[in-house]
Amino acid sequence: MSLKVNLIQTDISWANHDTNRQHAAQIMRNMPQADIYVLPEMFATGFATQPEGIAEDIIEGTCLSLEWMKVMSTELDAAIVGSLAVREEDLTYRNRLYFVQPDGKITFYDKHHLFTYGGEHHLYTAGQERVVAEFRGVRFLLQICYDLRFPVFARNNAEEPYDAIIYVASWPQPRVQAWLALHKARAIENQCYVIAVNRTGTDPSCIYCGGTEVIAPYGKVLAQCQMDIEDNVTAQLNLEDLKAFREKFPVLNDADPFQMVKDN
């Protein structure tokens, strides 16, 4: 069994929801048909640490960009994945990664490791739970940007197993080598695929150069976007290959107990 993934490395127009949604839709419609389309962190606005007037209000469980994701998911018969800056009805702000499926099922993950260096923790509320979404027989751990620096939180294990990690990011150019090294490490140490989608362009604070890649469980780059420009790429995740590799080289069997990992 295999699953096709489209990775979309876009420039993002600052705080311009309509423009960003329309631009993403145009790219997605011109790509090969796939099972999953993955967009960068805060794809509708850019990475906003000051979310007032930028974040979308959640009303009765939804917002305009989430509704757009539902429409695109139905149109493309695929899951649509990307994070949004949202304001809950209790007025808390969240950096929320949505995994929207064409049958209407929605899974979301609230970013756990807020980027204190950039001030994200001042106004956003951190999520407390790991989230695994399952789609067409593949299990995906959902992660956002700065989460990449914390391997214990992402550790694969028998209690909460997964086949692939999705990282969506607004990871700045000066630290791109860390981005490239760490998402490769996460694939190797967890014996999983890693889908890592970063943006390009600029915002009021940073320059972004991409580095969007799919990494195989043994560390090989399966597909990658060109650096420094908008680009997109398609990759296949092969579950038979993953199973065979884990059986041949069962590293995860020797991992520390999950309870020990959580306690640490």
Q: What are 71-101's pLDDT values in tens digits?
A: 999 999 999 999 999 999 999 999 999 999 9
The architecture (CATH level 2) of 2-263 comes to 4-Layer Sandwich (3.60)
Q: Is 41 one of the annotated active-site residues of the chain?
A: yes
Q: How far is residue 31's CA from residue 33's CA, in Å, rounded to a whole number?
A: 6
Give the pLDDT of residue 108. Answer: 98
Catalytically annotated residue among 145, 192, 209, 225: 145
Residue 260 has pLDDT above 70, yes or no: no
Q: Which of 56, 63, 70, 111 is catalytic?
A: 111
- Establish whether 220 is a catalytic residue: no
> Which residue of the set 41, 56, 120, 213 is catalytic?
41
Residue 19 has a pLDDT of: 98
Average pLDDT, the chain: 96
pLDDT for 262 equals 54
Q: Calculate mean pLDDT across residues 29-51.
A: 98
pLDDT per position as a tens digit, 134-192:
999 999 999 999 999 999 999 999 999 999 999 999 999 999 999 999 999 999 999 99
What is the pLDDT, as a whole number, of residue 257?
77
pLDDT band at 258 (very low <50, low <70, confident <90, very high): low
pLDDT for the residue numbered 263 = 45
pTM of the model: 0.96
- The pLDDT value recorded for residue 1 is 84
Query: Domain locations in the chain?
Result: 2-263
